[in-house]
Amino acid sequence: GAGVSQSPSNKVTEKGKDVELRCDPISGHTALYWYRQSLGQGLEFLIYFQGNSAPDKSGLPSDRFSAERTGGSVSTLTIQRTQQEDSAVYLCASSFRGGGGYTFGSGTRLTVV
Amino acid sequence: DAKTTQPNSMESNEEEPVHLPCNHSTISGTDYIHWYRQLPSQGPEYVIHGLTSNVNNRMASLAIAEDRKSSTLILHRATLRDAAVYYCIHQMGMRFGAGTRLTVKP
């Protein structure tokens, strides 16, 4: 597609359940970031993938959060045993390696009830 | 740490130029300066980026200080649709701060 696609756009889940959020970056983009944004707050870095290099996981808030990127393309962010404080918009961004602007997806709004 | 400093908020009148400042005193010599903006209820949108020379595109201009420790995003004629939170960040790390909330008055 022409842009970064994220799915689902909205997700309501019960506390304690696991969720998977998907990001389809722009074709050919080797760099991919995940962020989360709580209501009225700024963007919080979660994880960064660059090509085949080991990901930078330094922003993941707890071991309940994990992410993978298969084949250098699609990425999945998994949150296990969701808590109410996990409620936020989760944003994905991608770019070509070596610079250039990042294109953001529209995000997944996660609500944990 | 790739930290940038921006004013929390700024106001502008419609159709007037707006200069949004950013300090990035810890930037390395090879790190690009990026600007993004986030309109209400939307994901961030790329605005412009640069390394050393001033840059222009259809959205804005970026003026980079000679020592690269600061930069200024210039909107030549602000419109109501430019009201957003503007973020200045280092490309390496892509860590976002609180940004500058720009209000445009009609």
Of A43, A45, A99, the CB nearest to B44: A43
Give the C-alpha separation, B78 to B85, whole Å.
Answer: 14
What's the mean pLDDT when you consider all of chain B? 92
pLDDT of residue A99: 63
Give the C-alpha separation, B41 to B13, whole Å.
Answer: 23
* pLDDT means over runs of 10, chain A (113 residues): 90 98 94 93 92 92 95 93 97 82 94 98
Reply yes or no on whether the pLDDT at B80 is more than 90.
Answer: yes
Reply yes or no on whether the pLDDT at B46 is more than 70.
Answer: yes
Side-chain-side CA neighbours of A18 within 13 Å: the count stands at 10
Of A102, A112, A113, A108, the closest CA to residue A37 belongs to A108
Whether residue B96 and residue A106 make contact (CB cut-off 8 A), yes or no, is no
pLDDT classification of B86: cutoffs 50, 70, 90 = very high
B29 token code pair: 């010599």
pLDDT of residue A70: 85
Scanning every residue of chain B, which has its alpha carbon at the shortest distance from the alpha carbon of A91?
A: B43
Of A33, A42, A48, the CB nearest to B97: A42
- Running DSSP on this structure, what letter comes out for residue A101? P
A99 touches chain B (CB under 8 A): yes
Whether residue B32 and residue A33 make contact (CB cut-off 8 A), yes or no, is no
B105 token code pair: 């008055």
Whether residue A105 and residue B95 make contact (CB cut-off 8 A), yes or no, is no
Give the C-alpha separation, A58 to A62, whole Å.
Answer: 10
Cβ neighbours of B31 (radius 10 Å): 18
Q: What is the mean pLDDT of residues B40-47?
A: 91
Scanning every residue of chain B, which has its alpha carbon at the shortest distance from the alpha carbon of A56?
A: B93
